[in-house]
Chains A and B, each alone.
Chain A
Amino acid sequence: MMRERHINMIILALLVLVPTYAHFAEEPFTITLATRAVIFALAGVGLNLALGQGGLVSFGHAAYFGMGGYAMGILASHAQNYEPIMEVPFLIEGTNSMPVIWLVAIVMSALLALLIGALSLRTTGVYFIMVTLAFGQMFYYFTISWPAYGGEDGLSIYVRNQFPGMNTLDPIQFFSICFVLLCAVLFLVNRLNKSPFGLALNGAHQNEERALTVGINVYRVRLVAFVISGAITGLAGALFADLNRFVSPTMFSWQISGEIMIFIILGGVARLFGPVAGAALYIMLEHFLGGLSEYWFIYLGAILLFVVLFAKGGIIGKLSRKEISHDG
């Protein structure tokens, strides 16, 4: 029986070793896959804060993922075309600097999450699931039918955005940026989970009545968690857009919301590293099952079904043989 902490370290180590090996073996595509896994993991870590810690089953996190993506797409496309985003009442120019884009992505998706969360958190249970889904769909249809930024065609950014001192077009360097961001977010989320806020959030998930009767404003705690969750997923969206150098409305689609949930359940709900393990596993399944058969979705579905029905706690849960996480 392994401790969950050891498993987490192994996962991180693998995430570093595989791309490093690929770098020296000159298999850049493996690095791309690893980068994709890291970015999806980041999106999952974001959702997991709301879903795992807070018990807020959001089926609409694609909205923040897409918002982050479009923050990148819009800023970078204006920079690419040398057109300011707006001139009156004050001048806002596009940019191709990653840190600025991240900041905008985080702020915009946090604002969106604040709006959607403030409305959705009035409902509970299935209604919450469905109303978040509906908000996601709203943005999906909006981006498809709104012509200003490409509609369904999306936006192509021909050159990856810049990070001071790095060559972001080099796969391993871009991977490093994403990986460091993931580690930083994992660190922060870990602190958050252990903080009084995290205790209150998870306590309210386990027993809302109890949290209320010790004087915790559960609605506000959840709203803050939802906003942080959306902001993290938005950051992942901006990175994803930079990985592909492309954004499109599919980033808003409900399948993306579903996939982010799948990372979490594959890896283990409410575990710090659950989404990391889940996203890595998902990418591997996609890669290897896809090679087996044209109908590989059948296998993916079967595996997912198996995990949900028989492997509560996801792979980390199986490996550490502990259904509930306590030190995560």
Chain B
Amino acid sequence: MTDSILTVSDIHKSFGALKASDGISLDLKPGEIHALIGPNGAGKSTLIKQIAGGLKPDSGTVWFNGKDVTGVSTAERARLGLGRTFQISALAMDYTVLENVVLGAVGQSGSAFSFFKPAMKDAALLKRARAALERVGLRKREETITSELSHGQRRQLEVAVALTLSPKAFLMDEPMAGMGGEGSKALTGFLQELKKEAPILLVEHDMDAVFALADRISVLVYGKIIATGNVDEVRSNPDVRVAYLGEEDAA
């Protein structure tokens, strides 16, 4: 496990009687896309929050880049290099595209407490921001107000903002949701490239995408990981078929 970027080990989280995380362990290795799937209510979002930092587990630890980050804030984890995208776009909608990525660069550079120099004229911030936009292909839209972007473009922008952090790992929550076939395809190719730079923990509903993309898959049901393995292993796992795929692959 020493080469894992991200290691979740035996975390528990309960809300009253509901065990949302019931002894979950998983890890993310360099260069891989590790997909997390599971039916609604399986506890995916609770798990993500514990990994990203919004929620503290009752017990268990989260290691990131060789450091125990269990009690560390969201912002601190981001500065350590955890890049995150959201299911519902979390962007500053009134900002331009460029301002959003510069915001990412501000966070990355730790310059949020510099008070006098205009952010949008700071060469270092702009360079980092534009490089990220270039990567996702939004360089030409940098003056557009974010709320005017299409759904797919917002997704791209989310990735670009995460890229400004030069992350050591990505945590992506349903990046394919609501994308058309073309967009999905393009994004799939992009993620395949991206994983070489930093591994991706991918939470995804879109099974086709998951099977096309993932190097490994973990299946979460009722707060427990019932299976982890490559696509074929998971496909053939009887528990998974019953608990989850059974519904999807009824035909």
Task: Say whether A and B bind each other.
Answer: yes
Q: Is A12 close to B, CB under 8 A?
A: no
Q: Is A210 close to B, CB under 8 A?
A: yes
**Which residues on B sit within 8 Å (CB–CB) of A217?**
73, 75, 112
Ranked 3 nearest A-B pairs via Cβ: A214-B107, A215-B78, A206-B92
Contact check, B92 vs A215: say whether CB atoms are below 8 A apart.
Answer: no
Q: Which of B161-198 contact A (CB under 8 A)?
A: 161-162, 164-165
Residue among A192, A195, A214, A220 with the most chain B CB within 10 A? A214
Q: Which residue of A lies closest to B82 (CB)?
A: A213
**Which residues on A sit within 8 Å (CB–CB) of B106?**
196, 199-200, 214, 216
Contact check, B75 vs A210: say whether CB atoms are below 8 A apart.
Answer: no
**Which residues on B sit within 8 Å (CB–CB) of A195?**
114-119
Please judge, given known A-B contacts A194-B119, A214-B78, whether A202 and B113 are in contact too, CB under 8 Å.
no
Contact check, A202 vs B92: say whether CB atoms are below 8 A apart.
Answer: yes
- Distance (whole angstroms) from the CB of B198 to the closest CB of chain A: 15
**Which residues on A sit within 8 Å (CB–CB) of B111?**
196
The docked-state distance in angstroms from the alpha carbon of A215 to that of B109 is: 9
Q: Annotate A170-212 by CB proximity to B: 1 below 8 A, 0 otherwise.
A: 0000000000000000000001101111111011001101111
Please judge, given known A-B contacts A215-B76, A215-B108, whether A203 and B92 are in contact too, CB under 8 Å.
yes
Please judge, given known A-B contacts A194-B120, A199-B103, A203-B92, whether A212 and B115 are in contact too, CB under 8 Å.
no
Please judge, given known A-B contacts A199-B106, A214-B164, A215-B75, whether A209 and B116 are in contact too, CB under 8 Å.
no
- Distance (whole angstroms) from the CB of B89 to the closest CB of chain A: 9
Q: Is B153 close to A, CB under 8 A?
A: no
Contact check, B79 vs A215: say whether CB atoms are below 8 A apart.
Answer: yes
Q: Is B234 close to A, CB under 8 A?
A: no
B contact residues, range: 35 or more
Contact check, B125 vs A216: say whether CB atoms are below 8 A apart.
Answer: no
Please judge, given known A-B contacts A195-B117, A221-B112, whether A214 and B165 are in contact too, CB under 8 Å.
yes
The docked-state distance in angstroms from the alpha carbon of A194 to that of B117 is: 8
**Which residues on A sit within 8 Å (CB–CB) of B63?**
none
The docked-state distance in angstroms from the alpha carbon of A190 to that of B104 is: 21
Contact check, A218 vs B75: say whether CB atoms are below 8 A apart.
Answer: yes
Contact check, A206 vs B75: say whether CB atoms are below 8 A apart.
Answer: no
**Which residues on A sit within 8 Å (CB–CB) of B52?**
213
Q: Which residue of B lies closest to A218 (CB)?
A: B75
Contact check, A212 vs B78: say whether CB atoms are below 8 A apart.
Answer: yes
- Distance (whole angstroms) from the CB of B167 to the closest CB of chain A: 10
Determine which of A197, A209, A215, A220 lies in contact with B165 in the assembled complex, contact meaning CB atoms within 8 Å: A215
Q: Annotate B83-115 by CB proximity to A: 1 below 8 A, 0 otherwise.
A: 010100011111110011011101111111111
**Which residues on A sit within 8 Å (CB–CB) of B113?**
196-197, 220-221, 224
A-B contact pairs, 21 of them (CB 8 A): A192-B115, A196-B122, A200-B112, A203-B95, A203-B99, A203-B103, A206-B92, A207-B92, A210-B91, A210-B92, A213-B75, A213-B162, A214-B107, A214-B164, A215-B107, A215-B165, A216-B106, A217-B73, A217-B75, A218-B75, A224-B113
- Distance (whole angstroms) from the CB of A196 to the closest CB of chain B: 4
The docked-state distance in angstroms from the alpha carbon of A191 to that of B118 is: 7
The docked-state distance in angstroms from the alpha carbon of A104 to that of B93 is: 40
Contact check, A215 vs B110: say whether CB atoms are below 8 A apart.
Answer: yes
Q: Annotate B29-61 by CB proximity to A: 1 below 8 A, 0 otherwise.
A: 000000000000000000000001100000000
- Distance (whole angstroms) from the CB of B145 to the closest CB of chain A: 8
Q: Is B74 close to A, CB under 8 A?
A: yes
Q: Which residue of B lies closest to A212 (CB)?
A: B74
**Which residues on B sit within 8 Å (CB–CB) of A216?**
75, 78, 103, 106-107, 112
Contact check, A211 vs B107: say whether CB atoms are below 8 A apart.
Answer: yes
Contact check, B93 vs A206: say whether CB atoms are below 8 A apart.
Answer: yes
The docked-state distance in angstroms from the alpha carbon of A90 to that of B100 is: 51
Q: Which residue of B lies closest to A221 (CB)?
A: B112
Determine which of A199, A207, A214 lies in contact with B119 in the assembled complex, contact meaning CB atoms within 8 Å: A199
Q: Which residue of B lies closest to A192 (CB)?
A: B115
The docked-state distance in angstroms from the alpha carbon of A299 to that of B113 is: 44
Contact check, B93 vs A191: say whether CB atoms are below 8 A apart.
Answer: no
Q: Is A324 close to B, CB under 8 A?
A: yes
Contact check, A209 vs B78: say whether CB atoms are below 8 A apart.
Answer: no
Q: Which residue of A lies closest to B102 (CB)?
A: A199
Q: Which residue of A lies closest to B120 (CB)?
A: A194
The docked-state distance in angstroms from the alpha carbon of A149 to that of B93 is: 49
**Which residues on B sit within 8 Å (CB–CB) of A200?**
103, 106-107, 112
